[in-house]
């Protein structure tokens, strides 16, 4: 168990809908990262938050947004969902320092029908 908690584990929804994925980082970790992994593909970096502030952005669509709350948990919001958004979404957290080791949650599997 990495200590990173993601909910829900599975989400099944229809095209055009909006969903929210939640992530609780490991105790003490200030950074949260979101990744998308499509079927048998690599990990695509979406966005990073550090202590409530957006730190870095990757290939995140405008339909997607994220935030990190004062208690350091983070939410990834996906709207106007398309079939191609079906993927595993991982959250990772790190303490952030010289050895910025990221620990991954179990992921949320999103299926858009």
Partner 1 sequence: QQPVQSPQAVILREGEDAVINCSSSKALYSVHWYRQKHGEAPIFLMILLKGGEQKGHDKISASFNEKKQQSSLYLTASQLSYSGTYFCGTETAATDSWGKLQFGAGTQVVVTP
Which residues of the shown chain bind partner 1 in the complex (CB under 8 A)?
Answer: 2, 31, 33, 35, 41-45, 48, 50, 55-56, 58, 88, 90, 94, 96, 98-107, 109
CA gap 50, 33 in Å, rounded: 9
Decide whether 44 or 79 has the Cβ nearer to partner 1: 44
Residue with tokens 């939410």: 75
Q: Write the secondary structure of the chain as one string of H (helix), E (strand) and C (coil).
A: CCCCEEECCEEEECCCCCEEEEEECCCCCCEEEEEEECCCCCCEEEEEEECCEEEEECCCCCCEEEEECCCCCEEEEECCCCHHHCEEEEEEEECCCCCCCCEECCCEEEEEC
User: In the bound complex, what is the minimum distance in angstroms from residue 112's beta carbon to partner 1?
Assistant: 18
Decide whether 73 or 109 has the Cβ nearer to partner 1: 109
Decide whether 17 or 38 has the Cβ nearer to partner 1: 38
User: In the bound complex, what is the minimum distance in angstroms from residue 29's beta carbon to partner 1?
Assistant: 12
Decide whether 2 or 111 has the Cβ nearer to partner 1: 2
User: In the bound complex, what is the minimum distance in angstroms from residue 80's beta carbon to partner 1?
Assistant: 26
User: In the bound complex, what is the minimum distance in angstroms from residue 49's beta carbon to partner 1?
Assistant: 10
């Amino acid at each position: 168990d990495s200590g990173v908690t993601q909910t829900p584990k599975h989400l099944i929804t229809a095209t055009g809908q909006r969903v929210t994925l939640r992530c609780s980082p490991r105790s003490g970790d200030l950074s949260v990262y979101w990744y998308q992994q499509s079927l048998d593909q690599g990990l695509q970096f979406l966005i990073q938050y550090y202590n409530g502030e957006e730190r870095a952005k990757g290939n995140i669509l405008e339909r997607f947004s994220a935030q990190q709350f004062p208690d350091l948990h983070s939410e990834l919001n996906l709207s106007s969902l398309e079939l191609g958004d079906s993927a595993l979404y991982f959250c990772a957290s790190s303490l952030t320092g010289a050895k910025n080791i990221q620990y991954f949650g179990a992921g949320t599997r999103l299926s858009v029908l």
